[in-house]
Structure 1
Amino acid sequence: MENSFKAALKAGRPQIGLWLGLSSSYSAELLAGAGFDWLLIDGEHAPNNVQTVLTQLQAIAPYPSQPVVRPSWNDPVQIKQLLDVGTQTLLVPMVQNADEAREAVRATRYPPAGIRGVGSALARASRWNRIPDYL
């Protein structure tokens, strides 16, 4: 699946976005239609968890705004769960050095390059195994 936010950044196109801190799918949907290129669902400083992130991803999905998710911490388990519910872009907080950055990346990759588990038949990210060659 193409990520238009990452493609725009690679192409050097400026992107205008907004931080979502209300933990509300209603406000996420409202803002998704407001013309922003990206919306960041903040899990570090807002009362979000995997379930509230999921509802906001679902609310944003029909709109052109691209969701970015900020986990509460550089935690491999949480990163893997956020990816499984359909997150395509992460802004991982509290990365203090190259080793921590490598570990965050490993949480996003399947073996042998990473530690992400295979449960694609159960995951929204793979459309419950409907995306050919997801793995």
Structure 2
Amino acid sequence: MDQIDIKLLELLQKNSRMTISDLSLELALSRPSISERLHRMQEKGVIEEYSARISLPAIGRDILLIIQVGGVKVSLQEFEEFVKKEEGIIECHRVTGEVSYILKAAVSNMNGMRQLIDKLIPFGNINTSTVLSSPVPYRYILPIEESS
């Protein structure tokens, strides 16, 4: 991956709707060259998908939660199947340490938070934190440059 690929990744993360023509102008490369680079990065799995970042408050999900789940009382597969289907859970990570999972959830109000917690309680020990602010809500990810 060269500096042009890295710049291409940066541009796409800032605006995944940029056209091949826009990228071509920005990077001073031909459209076929841009297309080839994108295709190559998709084949290598560097670019997994293109998506839109949604404002949670704008769609009525005003409360963001971080939920730690420890002492899981069911099979890990059963728990993971539940969280995959639960609409309020927007991320789930199996982790090492004292807890088994860290979940990120977005709900509309305190009642939604209570309902989600009530659904999770049978699965294990639940520790919930409400996000007050997010100094780094999202970060563009670029390859780490190797030192010589």
TM-score w.r.t. length of structure 1: 0.24
Q: Which has the higher strand share?
A: 2
TM-score, normalised relative to structure 2: 0.22
Q: Which has the higher contact order (CA 8 A, sep 6+)?
A: 2
